[in-house]
Amino acid sequence: AQSVTQLDSQVPVFEEAPVELRCNYSSSVSVYLFWYVQYPNQGLQLLLKYLSGSTLVESINGFEAEFNKSQTSFHLRKPSVHISDTAEYFCAVRTQGGSEKLVFGKGTKLTVNP
């Protein structure tokens, strides 16, 4: 079975500061990795994903995540955050070739303060 650990339940930062949201996973088989963002009172939106190829993936709004197989991690980073980045961020895994279900971490609440 797979599991996802998001080590920080809440991350408060000031505007324009860098941020890293940590995600570690556990799986006996190869996985695909995802970060989803949930803005207040909205559904989840895919932020970025790692399926294969380059281990560094980027989103259109400045976030990036790096897949590290040896450390079983997929941390999310942004060099300079905006107030509009305030949201809940979920890391998720899906096994390659197995069930199509996503297994989510418990989420990290990012709060960007002025």
3-state secondary structure 53-110: CCCEEECCCCCEEEEECCCCEEEEEECCCCHHHCEEEEEEEEECCCCCCCEECCCEEE
Q: CB 101 → another protein: shortest distance, Å? A: 5
Q: Rule CB under 8 A: choose which of 45, 61, 71, 80 binds another protein.
A: 45
Alpha carbon separation from 64 to 5, 57, 83, 100 (Å, rounded)? 18, 6, 18, 24
The footprint of another protein on residues 65-104 (CB under 8 A) is 88, 90, 96, 99-104
What residues numbered 9-38 form the site for another protein, per CB under 8 A? 32, 34, 36, 38
Which stretch in 14-22, 23-31, 45-53, 62-70 sits in contact with another protein by CB under 8 A? 45-53
The residue assigned the tokens 């709060």 is: 111
CA-CA distance, 42 to 20, in Å (whole number)? 23
CB closer to another protein out of 42 and 113: 42
Q: Which residue of 30, 42, 68, 113 would you call a contact of another protein, by CB under 8 A?
A: 42
Place of tokens 């799986």: 27
Q: How many residues line the site for another protein (CB under 8 A)?
A: 23
Q: Interface with another protein by CB under 8 A: which residues?
A: 32, 34, 36, 38, 42-46, 49, 51, 88, 90, 96, 99-104, 106-107, 109
